[in-house]
Structure 1
Amino acid sequence: MLEFVDTSENMAAIGGLENLKNWLAQRRGAWDDAARNFGLDPARGVIILGVQGCGKSLCARAVAGEWKLPLVKFDTAAVFDKYIGETEKRIQQVFRVAEGLAPCVLWIDELEKVFAGSGPDSASVDAGVSSRILASFLSWMQDRKAPVFVAATCNNVTALPPELIRKGRFDELFFVDLPNQAERQQIFSIQLAKRKRNPAEFDLNQLASAAQGFSGAEIDAAVQSALYAVFANQQSLTTDALMAALAHTVPLSTTRAEEIQSLRIWAKQRAVPASGALAIAERASNLA
Structure 2
Amino acid sequence: MLLVGIQGTGKSLSAKTIAHEWRLPLLRLDSGRLFGGIVGESESRVRQMIQLTEAMAPCVLWIDEIDKAFGNITSSIDGDSGTSRRVFGSLITWMQEKTASVFIVATANNVKILPAELLRKGRFDEIFFLNLPTEAERQEIFKVHLQRLRPNRLREFNLALLAKQSLNFSGAEIEQVIVDAMHQAFSTRVEGQRRDFNTEDILQAVAQTVPLAAIAHEQIEALKQWAAQAGARTASNDVLLVEELKQYSTEQGIGPLEVD
TM-score range relative to shorter protein:
0.7 to 0.9
Q: Does 1:189 align with 2:149?
A: no
Distance 1:107 1:262 in 2: 25
Distance 2:21 2:155 in 1: 26
How many angstroms does 1:64 deviate by?
Answer: 1.1
* Corresponding residue pairs, total: 241
For the 8 Å contact 2:72–2:114, the answer to whether it is kept is: no
- Confirm whether residue 150 of structure 1 aligns to residue 104 of structure 2: yes
Scaled by the length of structure 1, the TM-score of the pair is 0.79
State which drifts further: 224-233 or 242-251. 224-233
Mapped to 1, the partners of 2:125 and 2:72 lie a distance apart of 24
Percent same amino acid among aligned pairs? Answer: 42
1: CA distance, partners of 2:115 / 2:154 = 44
Letter in 2 for 1:135: G
Separation in 2, partners of 1:243, 1:117: 41
The residue aligned with 1:256 is 216
1:37-92 residue CA offsets vs partner (Å, 9 max, x unmatched): xxxxxxxxx11000011111111112111211111111323321222222112101
Runs of 4+ aligned structure 1 residues displaced above 6 Å come to none
SS in structure 2 of the partner of residue 175 of structure 1: strand
Show the counterpart of 1:127.
81
Q: Distance in 1 between matches of 2:242 and 2:123?
A: 30
Gaps of 5+ in 1: 1-45
Runs of at least 5 residues in structure 2 that lack an aligned partner in the other structure: 189-193, 252-260
| One-letter amino acid of the structure 2 residue matched with residue 73 of structure 1 | R
Tell me the distance in 2 between the aligned counterparts of 1:240 and 1:151. Answer: 39
Aligned-partner SS, 1:125: coil
State how 1:1-288 maps to structure 2 within 5 Å. Answer: 46-116=1-71, 118-121=73-76, 124-197=78-151, 198-233=153-188, 234-270=194-230, 271-280=232-241
Task: Mark the CA change 1:125 to 1:117 in structure 2 (over 3 Å): closer, same or farther.
Answer: farther
RMSD: 2.0
Task: Tell me the TM-score normalised to structure 2 length.
Answer: 0.87
Give the whole-Å Cα distance in 2 for the aligned partners of 1:117 and 1:91: 20
Separation (CA, whole Å) in 1 of partners of 2:18 and 2:10: 12
